[in-house]
Amino acid sequence: MAFDCTDHRKFPTWKFKFTNYVCGAFPEAESALGRARAQEESITMALAERELPDLDNVLSISRQVYTALAALTDNEALSMVMNTPARNGLECWRRLNKRFDPQTAGRKKNAMHGVLNVSSVALKDL
């Protein structure tokens, strides 16, 4: 199940499997992974604890995510995990998603805005 990043199209499937795997072992990690993925700036432990006050032990979840990512990635993805400071699994998750699946909330919102707010045209131009 390791993601080796040679085919970026496989990332969404791998991401689903990874999330399912981690959340099966740590149900409280689902919220943390979702919020980390949507975060635009780097995630520090102080930020994670402030943004995720409902989680009892953010540091423990982040370390578990780091351990799983280190075991389940290869090549460039593994290099990204290895180069994330302080075994910060939530920051690794954010970086991997930004690199291999850059669909952020802001981009989705802008795309939806473009679809819903069409300009008016003359009937003859339709």
Q: What mean pLDDT comes out for the span 96-103?
A: 87
Give the DSSP letter of residue 118: P
Query: Do residues 65 and 90 make contact, with C-beta atoms less than 8 angstroms apart?
Result: yes
pTM of the model: 0.75
Count of CB atoms situated within 10 Å of the CB of 91 = 25
Percent of the chain surpassing pLDDT 90? 41
Q: What mean pLDDT comes out for the span 59-76?
A: 93
Task: Read off the pLDDT band of 91 (50, 70, 90).
Answer: very high
Whether residue 27 is predicted with pLDDT greater than 70 in this model: the reply is: yes
Q: Which of 76, 48, 71, 43 is CA-nearest to residue 60? A: 48
Query: Do residues 61 and 92 make contact, with C-beta atoms less than 8 angstroms apart?
Result: no
